[in-house]
Amino acid sequence: MAKLNKVVLAYSGGLDTSIIISWLKENYGCEVVAVVGDVGQGDELEGLRDRAINTGASEFYVADLKEELVNNFIFPCLKANAIYEGKYLLGTSFARPIIAKRLVEIAKNVGADAIAHGCTGKGNDQVRFELGIKAFAPSMKIIAPWREWNIKSRDEEIDYAIEKNIPITLTRETNYSKDKNLWHLSHEGLDLENPENEPDYDKILELSVSPEKAPDVPTYVTISFEQGIPKKIDGVEYGPVEIIKKLNEIGGKNGIGIVDLVENRLVGMKSRGVYETPGGTILYYAHKELETLCLDRETSHYKELVATKFGELVYFGLWFTPLREALSAFVDKTQETVTGDVKLKLYKGNIMNAGITSPYSLYSEEIATFGADQVYNQKDAEGFINLFGLPITVKSMLSKK
């Protein structure tokens, strides 16, 4: 391997990146600059500076990305109702591009020769990180140790850490692969690798409780939106980061947003994981309910197609692309009237609509009523049905001939 002067490492303090510092120095003879993207990991950030320096990093940076993550990545996905394969709310997916962008900025500032990450060659995150890096530094060398070294498993990683006297915080028995940020917490590996196994939620869950352990009485919550962006909870205004934290707390107590998912990875294989997204699940549900009042039929139906494509683009790591930007422009236009209040009833993992209001509501009780009205002539339906059904009538007549 050619010697490098300085490498910026996307550092988490987990097993992978803990041993990668030593591996990079040993194999590339370089300085290692450890960079943590703070996307809401909370107490996981504690002690990372000392850990990185003690395991060989020459410099350490923490980039606070929470506000930017919510405003520029999470809220655009929320407004689009972007979901991957009907279940996954993209928690890991939209956190990677913003970290990649900051890695490039720091790499340029410190004069690094390369950027390294700890993603495996089987996962989606290698694609998301590297496409993000290419968007801002197309000539930057990228090092992915999992695609270079002889280590084949997490057990062998632990063996390497023990051999090199690298302190790690997990054991072979509790070695779930996790990813935590402001929006979600994912769990993969161990017994979850077999889809036949029911998850041991009492052992796994950290942001939430299982529905069985949620309160026996419902919790009501009202979320206020302005142009598709959540602004208030029960009449109290919150900042973008705080509103997600507050809803995580409310949703977690009620067992909301627990998903057991077998998904199709971009690299071609299927994987199984358990995701906790309590606040995000509430926001997606409330936003979709508000749109039922505020969007006309054609826009609403077309937006469902956009939501699917938007979710795929984010999942595939294609955030910094013309198509994603164009779809966001379309979505923003649709959100101009998505303003109002959504009251929800939370009960043991379930979310139920408890009332919606909007100054831009397209719903007319006078027109929709089953009672007498003065604005809708029911006789008009006969002509509409004759014209709408004309192709069926013509086909039937021709078939008889």
Please list the active-site residues: 16, 96, 125, 177
Is there a binding annotation on residue 16? yes
Is there a binding annotation on residue 91? no
Task: Name the amino acid, one letter, at 116.
Answer: A
Burial bucket for residue 401 (CB in 10 Å: 0-12, 13-18, 19+)? exposed
Q: Yes or no: say if 39 and 8 are a contact pair by the CB < 8 Å rule.
A: no
Is there a binding annotation on residue 176? no
Is there a binding annotation on residue 118? yes
Is there a binding annotation on residue 210? no
Q: Yes or no: say if 227 and 338 are a contact pair by the CB < 8 Å rule.
A: yes
Is there a binding annotation on residue 339? no
Phi, psi of 23 (to 5 degrees): -65, -40
Is there a binding annotation on residue 186? yes
- Sign (positive or negative) of CA dihedral 324, 327, 183, 262: negative
Identify the CA nearest to 12 among candidates 28, 24, 133, 46.
46
Is there a binding annotation on residue 120? yes
- Show the DSSP H helices in 254-321 as ranges: 278-294, 297-315
Is there a binding annotation on residue 376? no
Is there a binding annotation on residue 386? no
**Cβ neighbours of residue 84 under 8 Å, at least 6 residues apart?**
90, 93, 263, 311, 312, 314, 315
Is there a binding annotation on residue 10? yes
| Residue showing tokens 């402001």 | 182
Task: Report the binding-site residues for L-citrulline.
Answer: 88, 93, 124, 128, 177, 186, 263, 275
Numbered residues of the known binding site for ATP: 10-18, 118
- Residues tagged in the binding site annotation: 10-18, 88, 93, 118, 120, 124-125, 128, 177, 186, 263, 275
Binding residues for L-aspartate: 120, 124-125
